[in-house]
Amino acid sequence: MKRRRMMAATIGSAATLAAIAALVTVGGPASANQQPTPTVVQQQAVLHQVSDKLPKSPAQAGRWIADGKLMVAVTNEAEAAKVRQAGATPKLVSRSQAQLDALLAKVDKITRADRGSGLQSWGIDPVSNKVVVRARGAYGALRGLGDGVQVVQVSTQVEQQAGEVNPGDPWWPGSETYCSVAFPATDAQGNKFFVTAGHCTNDADQAAYGAINQANKLGTSNVGGTHSINAREGDMGVVAVTESGWTLSPNVNTYGSPAVTVSGSADAIVGDAVCHSGNTAPNWECGTVTAINQSINYGNVTVDGLTTTSACSEGGDSGGAWLRGDKAVGLHSGGNSSCVQGDAGNSIFQPINEALAKWNLTLLTGTPDPGGDTQAPTTPGNPRSTGTTSDSVSLAWDASTDNTGVTGYDVYNGSTLATSVAGTSATVSGLSADTSYSFTIQAKDAAGNKSPASAVVTARTQPGGPSGGRTFANGTDFPIRDYQTAVSPIRSTATGRASSPFQVTVEGNHTCLEDLNISVVSPSGRWYYLQRYGGATCHPLPASKTYTVTPTGSENAAGTWTLRIGDNGPGDTGTLTNWSIAL
């Protein structure tokens, strides 16, 4: 059902004032903890329209809503007339906003020097036209500031409240550094939990907090020592949410953008556009699944069954939420210490369904707000052809932006969807030789919003049969450093299937071949090891070494092939100077 359109009368007109009067609810606004009625919500929206149209002035001293009216504190009758004309209600006061600000500055200076005397809060109250200080007991330090400062005695003590557990929120295991929440869940008895990374929950019966310095206790991590795994089986753990005041939410924290409401869980496949939320900037990042069911060697532990992606992440994102659209797919496990451009293994996650099944938990889900994220990404800019063969066209464009994050792009050949990609380039294959084609690109976000189509790119394939060259190379130098991984991509435009076997030639230098893990990753995300770490005696990496690789199943030749050289030993460095692949 479409929402009713708000009144379009000019703010300040008689029609608007009559509409406001008609909306006033007898008895005033809703009481505390009561959901505002649609009428009250609409009334407030109209009053905010009035406020937005009313310019601020030195003769004003604050605004508030009371009894269905927009109230404005004013210091003279001329300003009161302007307020009435705008459709608001003026209230004559003795102190201007500047005078209140000056008083607040004096109060703030005194209270900052003495915060141990039962102080609870202080600030400007526009209704009383005073600076109001709340304290437990009398607070004589403010005597002498005049009747513009009012001390209100209170008997309660405020403390940091609890709140919601949202996917992507931070949490603190004991006194350790923070991790991130993956997804809230419940057990058969309705008890509350959230799943996160196993390396964040390795200590049995450890207190879990919602704030730094062991504040805002949430509950207990790894209850009984049976709710955490960080081994070959997986990287997953559970925190029991037991403290009063904490509720669970299916709304993913996107850090300033509209939340994504989790509607269920799913398994990811290679090529999926995914996003993750965690507590380290930039917090909300998107990319593409590059491989699934991978065994990852973290140095101190090897974990099987993990998924790799091209999205960036940083320390502190551990345990955070991974999504495919509004479906939960994983718990953040690890990645590079910093984002590496073009690295297909930037970030790694543990599939969520395995964690839910392990501890017999039910994922908390909700119904997405249809009025939530409705903003489409911007149109992809500067679309262009970057190359052609007799049966393919390569395209590139400038990245779009979005309020929640662009998750991918759809490339259209005329009106037909040709391919979908996560990045800002694509190759459309299977075309006819010596033929003109027209392409457009649309960006999309996690909520399914799509941008307008880009400008049309027209390109003509080359004449003749398939391209003759099937060897591709990358001659950029990449340093090979101790305990780091050099990553070098190659974009293949060859058509059809890769040959079986195919050949990879590595050129460079390194003083200890036995320190190196060398692998090539296919466009499908499969890893092929060319050289494995190990050996008691060091031999230098040959200046040029060719490896013959037999694919596991069939591999498409077209796409990005990535060479990875990981140095697993100390004291030996080198350089990857060139590598090539013959497909």
Instruction: Give yes or no: 276 in active site.
Output: no
Interior/surface letters 359-395, b for 16+ CB within 10 angstroms, e for the rest: bebebbbeebeeeebeebbebbeebeeeebbbbbbbb
CA–CA gap between residue 170 and residue 196 (Å, rounded): 11
CB 126 within 8 A of CB 112: no
H or E element, residue 553: none
CA–CA gap between residue 193 and residue 29 (Å, rounded): 36
- How far is CA 410 from each of CA 382, 401, 423, rounded to the nearest angstrom? 15, 15, 10
Instruction: Give yes or no: 510 in active site.
Output: no
> Which amino acid is it at 320?
G
CB 170 within 8 A of CB 194: no
In the set 318, 347, 390, 522, the catalytic residue is 318
Task: Identify the three-state secondary structure at position 141.
Answer: helix
Q: Is cis: bond before 282, omega within 30 of 0?
A: yes
CB 547 within 8 A of CB 503: yes
In the set 180, 228, 235, 326, the catalytic residue is 235
Alpha helices in 6-93 (DSSP H): 14-23, 38-53, 77-86
Proportion of the chain in helix, strand, coil states, percent, rounded to 5:
10, 40, 45
The two tokens of residue 143 are 């005597």
C-alpha torsion angle, residues 337, 341, 344, 346 (rounded to 10):
20
Instruction: Give yes or no: 227 in active site.
Output: no
Q: Give the number of C-alpha atoms closer than 13 A to the C-alpha of residue 62, restricted to the C-beta side.
A: 21
Q: Is cis: bond before 501, omega within 30 of 0?
A: yes
CA–CA gap between residue 220 and residue 224 (Å, rounded): 10
H or E element, residue 106: helix 97-113
CA–CA gap between residue 116 and residue 135 (Å, rounded): 10
Q: Which residues 6+ apart lie within 8 Å of 317 measured at CB?
A: 180, 276, 278, 279, 280, 332, 335, 347
In the set 96, 169, 199, 265, the catalytic residue is 199
**Catalytic machinery residues:** 199, 235, 318
